A and B are shown apart, each in its own frame.
Chain A
Amino acid sequence: MDCLLEITDLHVEYRRDAGHVRVLDGVDLSVSPGESLGVVGESGVGKTVLVRAVLGLLEPPWRISRGRIRYDGEDLLGRPERELRAIRGRGIALTTHEPRKHLNPVLPIGAQVVEVVRAHGDTGRTEARQRALALLRMVGFPDPEARLSAYPHELSGGMCQRVIIAMALAHSPKLLMADEPTAGLDVTISLQVLDLMQGLVRGSGSSLLLVSRDLGVVAHYCQRVAVMYQGRIVESADVIPFFAQATHPYSRRLLRAAAAARDDRRGSAGPASRRGDAPAVGCAYAPRCPVRVARCSTEIPPLAPVTPGHLSRCFLNADIAAGRVTV
């Protein structure tokens, strides 16, 4: 396989005294070199847990109970912390939402960028400082020399996000995972940040895994889309086929809801889901699905191809695609 990142059948649980909550329930996902993949889904479907699992950041009570994560042909799960540390930041980097909270409030941003630069390899002080300045300039940080000694609380959210991106790109990672990079930023800044990120990733031939709740963002910045619902991937396809003919009922209603919101009309993907709503057996979307059949509540539908490269987790794929069933 020539995949950069390959996640197979990943199960993650959150352990509680009262039992376990299955947060990821068999996620299959792959990112090829140079590809941009968008992962979309509503709040609480496990998007953030997914990226944390890839970096090996899950600690008890989180537990990876099954599955496999391969990066560059090698398994990541079960690797010792020391080896993971070598991959974090250098092979796979992460940018987070709430950028200000992810910066240390008592250190100037310059020191923090320098620290990241020096985390791998042995870069000298002066050299690291130069590199930090170059990185900040690269992410469009105005007047970086003067702002190296600024503290995070003295910067705007967009500026903090730029610092985070600069830190993530410090070691030219092969894969950049961006976890809702635009949450909390206004529309113009969001676009600047996303354009910037896309430009930098393309320029270096890296891959991008963009986690978002915004279908528009994904349509614009990604080549492929994966829709997550209650800990599973329910549909994955290239962007154009996905927006033209999404097949899974959830994706379809999600798209319609997004379009309705844009046109200022009421639309809905069905009643809001709550954690714990997902039935123990069968399709997780069944309780909300308008076209469910008897099988849906007893069997989990497979992630089956609709057309080559377009997968959907529904028993009615063929019927929906052919228009025999309308959602």
Chain B
Amino acid sequence: MTSAAATDLVDEEQGGVVRAVAREANQLWRFARTQPGFLFGLAVIGITVVLALVGPWIAPYGPEEALPGRAVLPPGADHWMGTDISGMDIFSRVISAPRIDLTIALISTVIAFTAGVMLGVVSGFFAGAGGAWAVVSQAVMRGADIVQAFPLFIFALALVGFRGPSMQNVIVALAFLNIPFFLRVTRGAVLHVRERPFVEAARCAGGSGLRIAFVHVMPNALTPALANLSPTIGFSILLTSALSFVGAGVPIPTPEWGSMIAIGAPNMMTGQWWTALFPGLALGLTILGYALVGDGLSYYLDPTHRT
């Protein structure tokens, strides 16, 4: 998806591409071995992905099952992380939550990445040009300003007010929030790349504007957006939880870290620390892991650090 046109050109060289991918993977692994933080992040991503796939099935109790007479039990052999006020097993809920949190974060980030990069390439490549495209470029930037000027929580609450709390609404709200971010980092890279000689060479050869923008400029301007992909997923998980915490996100009792913290917060005041601590820890470690991968990748993708 990232550079459909470019791979389109390359696909005649199937063998070459496979070889290049293998070489890249090998290089990435050699890099990862020297970076403990990066490895930790990769492990976190791996675990969350596995849990998103099978979490609810391997959970010892149903994640939405309220056990009668077992409310607010402390951690023990039966309930490793204790139970909450409704008698739901916290461990089961914590490992089931990635299915919701990760899905929301992934879908919203992919939407934001795709739309943001496309808009960033167009607005950057045609910035300062004449004609209709310059108008488009300006319009895109002003649109981004408007979206960014609008507080996320107000936007999400308004959406929920209109359509009721649901996963779709959270995805839409987060995607909108993240588009301007990807747009700006891509636009910045494009403004730099479009001045490089090979872009002019492509014009010399008689290439058209849009083709040059997407075949020649975009693949060279993806690095910042790619490096921000992972932290954005982590941040989206945090925001999903935050929205659920204030009741504008995923409806209770769906297992979701933010809403679990919200449910557990009153118990925490009265000494039942486990109700909010475990989902909070899971949330914190996950975001840390995604951010570390983003960090590692941006270091890895920086050509001056390549060996």
| A contact set with B: CB distance below 8 Å | 55, 57, 59-60, 81, 85-90, 93-94, 96, 98, 101-108, 110-111, 114-116, 119-120, 125, 129, 148-149, 164, 167, 170
Contact = CB atoms under 8 A, between A and B. Distances in A.
A89 B204 contact: yes
Nearest to B199: A104
Contact of B16 (A94, A115, A129, A149): A149
A119 B204 CA distance: 11
Nearest to B217: A104
A198 B128 CA distance: 39
Interface of B: 6, 9-10, 12-13, 15-16, 19-20, 128-129, 196-198, 200-209, 215-216, 219-220
A85 B220 contact: no
Secondary structure dominating the interface of B? helix
- What 10 A-B pairs come out closest when comparing CB atoms? A149-B16, A89-B206, A102-B201, A111-B9, A101-B197, A88-B206, A89-B205, A106-B219, A116-B205, A102-B197
B13 A105 contact: no
A115 B201 contact: no
Given A105-B220, A106-B219, A114-B9, A57 B202 contact: no
Given A89-B205, A101-B197, 16 more contacts: A57-B200, A81-B209, A88-B206, A90-B206, A96-B201, A102-B197, A102-B198, A104-B202, A104-B216, A105-B198, A107-B10, A110-B13, A111-B10, A116-B205, A125-B12, A164-B201
Contacts of A111: 6, 9-10, 13
Nearest to B204: A94
Contacts of B203: 57, 88
A119 B197 contact: no
Nearest to B222: A106
B13 A120 contact: no
A90 B207 CA distance: 11
A170 B206 CA distance: 12
Given A107-B10, A108-B10, A149-B16, A88 B201 contact: no
16 contacts: A59-B129, A85-B207, A88-B206, A89-B204, A89-B206, A90-B206, A94-B204, A102-B197, A104-B198, A108-B10, A115-B9, A149-B13, A149-B15, A149-B16, A149-B20, A170-B205
Contacts of A55: 204
Contacts of A98: 197
Contacts of A59: 129
A86 B219 CA distance: 25
A94 B205 CA distance: 8
Contacts of B201: 94, 96, 102-103, 164, 167
A119 B220 contact: no
A90 B202 CA distance: 13
Nearest to B219: A106
Nearest to B15: A149
Interface centre among B12, B15, B198 (most CB of A within 10 A): B198
Contact of B215 (A86, A94, A115): A115
B32 to A, nearest CB: 22
A106 B6 contact: yes
A88 B198 contact: no
A202 B113 CA distance: 51
Contact of B206 (A60, A103, A119): A119
A115 B196 CA distance: 18
